[in-house]
Chain A
Amino acid sequence: MAPLDYKTSLARYRRYLATVQEQPLLRASLYLVLSLLLIIILILAALRPTLITIASLSGDIKQQGEIEKKLDAKITQVSQAQQILSANETKLLVLNQALPIGEEFSIWGKRMEELAQESGVTLTGVALENYQDFALTVQGNYIQLKSFLNRVESLRRLMKIESVQIVSSANLTMIIKGKLESYEEK
């Protein structure tokens, strides 16, 4: 019978224990690493584009719904506006006279001549600058000048009278300065 070499056996047993102890851990760690790598690859290659497409389409649907609601409201507003417009069509001519599209100086100039004739004053000068600023020079007595100024003030055509100056010479001379309003299409 061979003598029992317990030291070698113990050493071998310890090595065996160490291996047995380490191997399941190593295997589990390897599986874990592989699983994590697989998840990362799946997220990058499959999940990401799919989720982004779904989110994008969902966002599109939501936005289109909101746009549809707004457009419906706009259609209602436009049809209401159309009804009001057709009901007040005759009055719009008045609006066009008050605030014409473009300057329309000639009509305004002729109207000024008519007003001067009606008031009995002499229109000696009409000046226009920058298609907006005007200066009217009229001559007559005080009552005539006052009547002319009243008529100009109560005219339908919109204008801002900035200053009125009366100069006394042989006749009274009145200089009216202001701004002519007109509508510019944007």
Chain B
Amino acid sequence: MKKNKTDRDIVLMLVMTLITLVSWLAFEVYRAYVIKPIPDVLAKQLIELNPNLDTVTLDKIEKRQP
């Protein structure tokens, strides 16, 4: 009876270990998938550029005395 209880404890401990291990693995896989730092130079190149020129203001400046 005592041996049975010991066996059950070992199985329970192993199942818990397995659950912990699977959770840890899932989190690590998620981290590996999501966290990707973009290099600084590339981040600078990715900044959006507004191609429009404010021609109204340019015209106003042009009309002023040089």
A interface residue numbers (CB < 8 A to B): 22, 25-26, 29, 32-33, 36-37, 39-40, 43-44, 47-48, 51-52, 54-56, 58-60, 62-63, 67, 70-71, 73-74, 77-78, 80-81, 84-85, 88, 91, 94-95, 97-98, 151, 154-156
Contact = CB atoms under 8 A, between A and B. Distances in A.
Given A55-B32, A59-B33, A74 B65 contact: no
Nearest to A36: B14
A182 B8 CA distance: 81
Closest 8 CB pairs of A and B: A81-B51, A80-B51, A36-B14, A29-B7, A55-B33, A55-B32, A59-B33, A156-B64
A40 B46 contact: no
B66 A97 contact: yes
A98 B32 CA distance: 52
Per DSSP, chain B at the interface is: helix
Contact of B22 (A37, A43, A54, A84): A43
Given A29-B7, A155-B64, 17 more contacts: A25-B7, A29-B8, A33-B11, A36-B11, A36-B17, A36-B18, A39-B18, A40-B14, A43-B22, A44-B21, A48-B28, A51-B25, A60-B36, A78-B49, A78-B51, A84-B51, A155-B65
B65 A26 contact: no
A88 B56 CA distance: 12
Interface of B: 3-4, 7-8, 10-11, 14-15, 17-18, 21-22, 25, 28-30, 32-36, 38, 42, 45-46, 48-53, 55, 58-59, 61-62, 64-66
